[in-house]
Structure 1
Amino acid sequence: MTTETAVGDKGKPAPQRRDTYNGAAGTSATGYSSAKGRPGSLNSTGNRPQKTQPNTGLSRPQSGVSTLYYSGEDDLDQLRQKYVLLEGDRRAYYETSQWTLKQNQETVHRLKKENKELKRQLSEVNSQRGALEPPANKDIRALEKKVHELRATHDRLVADRTRGSEKLMRLKESLQALEKDKQSLLAVDSPELRTIRSLENRLDKALVKHNEASSLSRTYAGIAERLRDERATFDSQLRAVEESLRAKGSDLEQLAAMSAEAQQAKEAAMADLRAAEAALARERERRSRELAERREQAEAAEAKRAGGDPAELERCRAAAASYDEAFREVQEATGVVDLAEFVDRFLSQEAVREDLKVRPDRGRWLLREGSLSPLGGERVAGRGAPSAIFSPSPFTALLRAPFSLREG
């Protein structure tokens, strides 16, 4: 159904024309065919068209028509006629709709112009009325406008509040449903709860691994940053290390040579030490034999004299005891254990004394240097402290006693 309303030049509506399209017969309600302008209730032969049946390939013959002369060409002709009518009606409807659309567009354009003109006239009238009306009316209209705006804002806020309340109610209902689901899940050991626990455990493990990875990443980032900083001075440090390595290599060669020399010297010293120890052992053995012989001689002499004067024997024993005491004191003072070493030192002391008698200047020099004792004896260095002072007065008899005993 198409409705067209025309507006006159002065804004009055024009008479309306209603066309009702009959899609089945291809006619309109006016009774005229939309294809060629002929009456729609009659066909091209002037007769009203018969009611058509669905096309099933074979059409049933109409009553009053002999079945001996029926064929499918009658149905084909009817279909062709219908197609021609429908095609003509479609074209007519398309042309009518295009014309109606054009008329409506022109009407809309004209109405827009008239509306614009009316708005301009209304604005002029309102401006003239505003200039003539009192200020109170202006304030009233401004307040009314503000009231309308506030009312609109209030309505909008009420609507927002209503929507918010509804949304809040829905959220509360959803929360209650979730709480019920939660209680049902926590009440029993359901598969969903086990799955949640498993996922939570996996999440905790993943967080721990993530933290460890973050820590390692920060550590490696710091190491990389330090390496980048050291890269600027790496060449100079490498050259310094190479030079130091070369110097250490030369030092190592020198130390190796010195070690070889020290090893050779050690071996030579060990050989000399072994030879000296062997010589010392031989010398000690010889001294021990001599001491044993002298003791035997002394015992023999003592036994020989024992048969004589008892007073002489007692005197010899007292002299031997005094000699032993003197020798013990000498040992404590000098640290000399071997009698032969003591004799050698004493003889060297005698040589020094004789030399000092010949050269007094040397004696004074030795006194200044501290190598000769002011008491007439020479200091013998050794063992971290000055040795005892040799004096010939009490020990000469001790040294000469064995010889005198041997001679007696």
Structure 2
Amino acid sequence: MSHTKLNILVQKCDELKLKITLLEGDSKSSYESSEWKQKNNRHNVKKLRDEYDELYSLRANKMMADSELVAKSLNDVPEEKKCFRNKSGLVALDLINNKHKYYVNQLNYLKFLTEKYKKNQNLLKSKHEEMQQENSEIKETKQDETAVSKDTRTLENKFEKSKLRYTEALHIFQAYVAIKQDMQQNNQTFDQQLDQLENSIKISEAEHDKQFKVNQQATCSRDIAITNLEKCEKEIHSARKEREMNISKVRKRAEEKKLQYTKRIGEPQILNDTNTGTMTLDDNDEFGISKISLYAQAITKIKQATGVTDTKEVVIRFENQGESKNRLENIKNENKENTTKLEEKCINLIQEFNQMRYSGNDKIVEAQIVLEEKRKEFSVIKFNLKEVNENLDMSLALLLSIKSGLNHLLDKLQPNANDLEKLKSRDSEKYSFQQLSLCDEKIDEIMLELKDDDINSTWNLLNQNEYISMIELGQPEYNTHIKLKIRKKENAF
């Protein structure tokens, strides 16, 4: 095994030696070829440098020759030698040709201008000669002027003045003829115009009388209405006073009864302290007192709901308001008709005024006075209409408030379905009266139910229940604003 390994190593060494010898031969050949190429390149570079030197010397000689030629040619113009420095002959020739062309163009332009100025000069000379001839002729005519020329000039001036006067006279004559024709036409139709004006004046006077009567009637009706209103106010005031007197009397009686009741309660207590006996109140007195207190509570509730003392007054007020509403609506419609009529009359009067404008100053003044009176009447009627509309709005608002009070009272009393079916539709006029009657019936039923019950004990029980519920639920004593929790949006992150 060792012998075979040695043979393999020997073979490998021989192979490596052969490779080394081959590589050495290749390196020698490449070195020799590179040296030969370097020699050739050096030789070529020398040749090119010699050629460049020859060309540069030729160029320098040519430039010297061109510069000498340019210098010789521009000896007369030393200032332009700087422009042609270090430039070949061809370039210098091109520049010289361009400058030559420029100077030739300038020369041609100057020649054209000289010819133009010569022509203008000749024209001016001819004009000057003509002016001199005219001046000489004028001088000759002035010297030869005689009295005949002066006379002709004066006659021409007089003729022109007479022409102007003639035209003015013709214009005045035509104006007077036109005025005469207009006067003749007016004379033919003047009587008819006068008759028409007299008729229109009579018609306007009759209308004025009618309007004056209407105004008087309106003032009378206004005074009557004011007196009626004052009477109504006095009656209402007296009725209110009587009502207050009655209420005060009833209150006094109630207070006296309360005092009597307290005295009666106090007497048996004293007797119990002194004497060991027991005394009780009569059942009739207790029943009367409880009934009075129930009525008082019901009346206070009705007052809170409707703002009125008695149910009869509510009914009377409803009836009066229905009549007043109808009356106000009728007055409103009548006023609207009157306003439309007055507006039409006002328009007609304005048209008549426009027709009568050119008939004379007196008629214009009268028409203006009539117009102002009508406008004043119209403004007064408008003001009255506004007041009537305001009263109507107030009455409607009052009606609505009363109706809402009745609805609230009905909701509080909680009527049955059968009772509600008895009521007519809301659009009917008797709906509110039916509501009132239903409220009266319900109040009477409640009063009958509460006859046998002890009101004070039930009232105390209700107060105790409310107190217990407030403590248990933690409710506040009065109405308070509770802040609700605001839910915040959860972030996506």
- Say whether the fold is shared (TM-score over 0.5): no
Q: Which has the higher helix share?
A: 2
Q: Which has the higher contact order (CA 8 A, sep 6+)?
A: 2
Q: State TM-score, norm by structure 1.
A: 0.28
Q: State TM-score, norm by structure 2.
A: 0.24
